Amino acid sequence: MINKIEEWGKWARHHKDDLGSQSAWLSVMRDNVQMHKGVRYCITDDEALKVDRAVSKLAKHSVILLNVLCYKYLAGWSPRDIAKNYLTVLEYGINSRKQVGKETAYQLLARAEGYVLGVVENS
């Protein structure tokens, strides 16, 4: 089974609209995304746009879940990186000795994915 969110991430990083600009989500994440040419994705534009709309709804629901999803699928961060570089800083501040575990990142990622896939399936 094709992971629609993973394919959306590839599509969003590499899709150019008719105006010659990058995807809106790439604009949001542009400083955190490394561009690669020649990447193929297995999702139609229509399906990717459904996922894109669902991600927009996620943004209204929870910015934290949105960021976790975008760091994973647009920036390519691992759950460990998300926990260390985003969630720990968010929870404890930049210079804290405390750390958020990667399990928390996995849990938040699962919630974000479930939300997006639920919206896609019900649209």
Per residue in 18-37, pLDDT (tens digit) is: 444 455 555 555 545 555 55
Q: State how far the Cα of 118 lies from the Cα of 96, in Å rounded to an integer.
A: 36
* Three-class secondary structure of residue 16 per DSSP: strand
Quote the mean pLDDT of the chain.
86
* Beta-carbon contacts of residue 14 (< 8 Å; ≥ 6 apart): 35, 36, 39, 41
Mean pLDDT of 101-117: 97
Q: State how far the Cα of 79 lies from the Cα of 71, in Å rounded to an integer.
A: 9
pLDDT confidence of residue 63: 97
Query: Tokens 């020649």 belong to which residue?
Result: 38
pLDDT confidence of residue 23: 58
Angle between helices 63-73 and 4-14 (to 10 degrees): 80
